[in-house]
């Protein structure tokens, strides 16, 4: 599918508004009437922060700046798709309308790009964008030009959309395009530049749109909080008899006890069956269970337990003497994952996304509240914990891909909180499976067992276990050959582990493995991109 960039002139666009019966003074309608927002004759600068299409109308979020420097945000309805970043001067016509001058309308409707500078973006450049609006172009053409066919009706001319560009030097700019098929509002698309007036849409990857994944991962990481913070706060809650936890209902306390009871201990993690159970209960597979029609509450699941905890906390908030509605709404808007926030109908601005980080995710505490048993604090910590789990899930998806040579890399990333006496020790895990494309030998009927042996497995672990301190482990396994490197941040721990490597080697050999490399280093593993060859510690030809 191709898209054309239409030729639109500012004068024609402004004239079209009047021909379409849109008075310049009543373009913007306040979603909530605001009497006395602006004094008579007062003019304020308004910047369009966001644009959302609702049927044939558009909802805008405006940021108004008064003469005295005071700023306020207003949701308004408009018959025009004023793109984010547009600045206009507005006056208040009535309690529920804002007026814009004709000159500002000309500037506003021409703010979207109507051509591409091929010197800046030569032919073949890949553009990625988000669809803000889509309308039938025939109506627009009739409004913009005032022309109709001989029969008096406008001829169909496809669809006209406004797309917010997300990459290249034009990131943040909007582009008006015509296409033969409608573009779904809110969808992400990719297109190659053909000329200054033409784009060629390209299909997105079948498995997932990498751009949407990267954006969601960045957003979740900005909201995430360490699991340990929540679990420690839950462990330290005073018992009901002490009189210090009256705001915890029996159902909420039961959810807390269930969450803590499902945590594995170090003894369980020493057996293969125990590790398998811990992986299954980590929350990584909750969505896959739902897709399979299973009820995730019937089996231990960290994510399901956290969601249940939140549903038990929310009803108790308004009855809490220390409840602050604004603070709670801000907590939900900033910390709670979008799927839950949408379901609860909570509105608000979210924190600015941060850049994705390397494995492992760093420890992060959401504030330093004094009252650990306060419901708002527990809600904030629980929402941050869910974002933590989702950051791991999205991080695994982001690293699951097919390389140019056909090699498929599948990644699972998760976090398992373990009970060590009275302490909670979060164990971060990343497992990668690398499969080479089938060769002619495989096509001729090589055994599945042989193909399984040729898969390369990588495992990374990160945890902080006293008295050893922070530790990280990297291991690779292929065809029964294993290589591993360990890193300890404390010098004494590195020396202690190095002295026990012979015992570890003997245990690995007893399991039937051929140990190629085994060493312990002080510090942390090197970060940043590394080539596949640099990561292959095992000589497959040895």
At residue 358, the pLDDT reads 67
pLDDT higher than threshold 90 for residue 110: no
Question: Which of 395 and 443 is assigned the larger pLDDT?
Answer: 395
Cα 523 to Cα 140, 149, 465, 526, distances in angstroms: 63, 75, 15, 9
Cα 90 to Cα 26, 75, 82, 104, 248, distances in angstroms: 11, 14, 13, 9, 50
Concatenated DSSP letters of 80-134: S-PPTT-EEEEEEEETTEEEE-HHHHHHHHT-SB-S--TTTS-TT-EEEEEEEEE
Q: What is the pLDDT of residues 370-412, one digit of tens each?
A: 555 578 888 889 988 998 999 898 888 888 887 767 788 999 9
**Mean pLDDT confidence for 104-112:** 70
pLDDT higher than threshold 50 for residue 20: no
**Mean pLDDT confidence for 193-200:** 88
Cα 102 to Cα 15, 24, 28, 38, 77, distances in angstroms: 9, 6, 13, 19, 18
At residue 531, the pLDDT reads 36
**Mean pLDDT confidence for 330-350:** 39
Q: Using the 8-state DSSP alphabet, how is residue 296 labeled?
A: G
* Torsion of Cα atoms, 327 then 332 then 335 then 337, to 10°: 180
At residue 353, the pLDDT reads 34
pLDDT higher than threshold 50 for residue 139: no
The end-to-end CA distance of the chain, in Å, is: 51
**Mean pLDDT confidence for 307-313:** 87
Q: Which of 35-39, 215-219, 291-295, 361-365 has the lowest mean pLDDT?
A: 215-219
At residue 26, the pLDDT reads 57
At residue 352, the pLDDT reads 33
Q: Provide CB contacts within 8 A for 279, sequence distance 6+.
A: 414, 416, 429
Instruction: For the chain, give the mean pLDDT.
Output: 76
Q: Percent of the chain having pLDDT more than 90? A: 21
pLDDT higher than threshold 80 for residue 313: yes
Q: Percent of the chain having pLDDT more than 70? A: 73
Confidence band for 204, pLDDT divided at 50, 70 and 90: low
Going along the chain from its start, the domains and CATH numbers come out as: 1-204 (no CATH), 210-396 (no CATH), 405-535 (3.30.750)
At residue 528, the pLDDT reads 54
Q: Which of 265-279, 307-321, 502-516 has the lowest mean pLDDT?
A: 307-321
- 393 bridge partner residues: none
pLDDT higher than threshold 50 for residue 190: yes
At residue 449, the pLDDT reads 63
Q: Which of 7-11, 12-16, 185-189, 473-477 has the lowest mean pLDDT?
A: 12-16
**Mean pLDDT confidence for 515-540:** 65
* Main-chain dihedrals φ then ψ at residue 142, nearest 5 degrees: -65, -40
Q: What is the pLDDT of residues 238-254, one digit of tens each?
A: 877 655 546 788 888 88
At residue 491, the pLDDT reads 92
Distance from CA of residue 29 to its chain's centroid? 32
Confidence band for 347, pLDDT divided at 50, 70 and 90: very low
């Amino acid at each position: 599918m191709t898209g054309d960039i239409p030729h639109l002139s500012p004068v024609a666009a402004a004239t079209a508004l009047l021909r379409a019966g849109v008075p310049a003074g009543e373009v913007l309608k306040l979603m909530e009437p605001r009497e006395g927002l602006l004094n008579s004759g007062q003019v304020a600068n308004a910047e369009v922060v966001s644009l959302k299409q609702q049927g044939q109308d558009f909802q805008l979020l405006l940021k108004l700046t008064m003469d005295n420097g005071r700023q306020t945000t207003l949701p308004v309805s408009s018959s025009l798709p004023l793109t984010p970043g547009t600045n206009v001067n507005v006056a208040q016509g009535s309690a529920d309308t804002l007026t814009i001058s004709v000159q500002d309308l000309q500037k506003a409707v021409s703010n979207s790009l109507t051509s591409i500078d091929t010197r800046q973006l030569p032919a073949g450049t890949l553009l990625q964008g988000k669809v803000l609006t889509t309308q039938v172009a025939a109506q627009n053409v009739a409004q913009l030009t005032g022309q109709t066919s001989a029969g008096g009706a406008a001829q169909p001319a496809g669809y006209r959309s406004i797309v917010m560009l997300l990459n290249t030097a034009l990131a943040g700019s909007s582009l008006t395009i015509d296409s033969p098929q409608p573009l779904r509002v809110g969808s992400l698309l990719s297109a190659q530049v053909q000329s200054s007036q033409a784009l060629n849409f390209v299909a997105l990857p079948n498995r997932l749109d990498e751009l949407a994944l990267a954006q969601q991962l960045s957003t979740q990481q900005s909201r995430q909080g360490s699991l340990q913070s929540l679990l420690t706060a839950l462990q330290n809650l005073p018992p009901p008899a002490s009189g210090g936890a009256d705001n915890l209902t029996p159902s909420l306390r039961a959810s807390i006890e269930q969450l803590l009871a499902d945590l594995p201990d170090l003894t369980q993690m020493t057996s293969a069956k125990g590790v398998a159970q811990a992986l299954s209960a980590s929350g990584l597979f909750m969505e896959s269970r739902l897709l399979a029609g299973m009820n995730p509450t019937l089996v231990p699941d960290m994510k399901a337990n956290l969601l249940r905890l939140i549903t038990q906390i929310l009803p108790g908030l308004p009855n809490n003497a220390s409840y602050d509605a604004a603070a709670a709404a801000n907590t939900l808007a900033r910390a709670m994952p979008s799927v839950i926030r949408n379901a609860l109908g909570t509105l608000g601005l979210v924190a600015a996304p941060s850049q994705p980080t390397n494995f492992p995710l760093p420890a992060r505490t959401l504030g330093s509240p004094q009252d650990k048993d306060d419901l708002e604090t527990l809600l904030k910590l629980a929402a941050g914990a869910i974002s933590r789990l989702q950051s791991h899930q999205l991080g695994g998806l982001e690293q699951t891909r097919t390389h140019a040579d056909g090699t498929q890399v599948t990644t699972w990333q998760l976090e398992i909180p373990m009970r060590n006496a009275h302490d909670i020790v979060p164990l971060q895990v990343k497992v990668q499976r690398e499969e080479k494309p089938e060769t002619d030998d495989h096509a001729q009927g090589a055994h599945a067992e042989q193909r399984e042996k040729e898969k390369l497995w990588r495992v990374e672990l990160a945890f902080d276990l006293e008295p050893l301190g922070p530790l990280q482990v990297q291991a690779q396994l292929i065809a029964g050959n294993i290589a591993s490197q360990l890193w300890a941040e404390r010098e004494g721990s590195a020396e202690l582990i190095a002295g026990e490597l012979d015992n570890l080697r003997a245990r690995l050999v007893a399991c039937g493995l051929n140990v190629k490399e085994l060493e312990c280093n002080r510090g942390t593993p090197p970060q940043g991109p590394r080539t596949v060859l640099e990561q292959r510690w095992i000589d497959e030809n040895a």
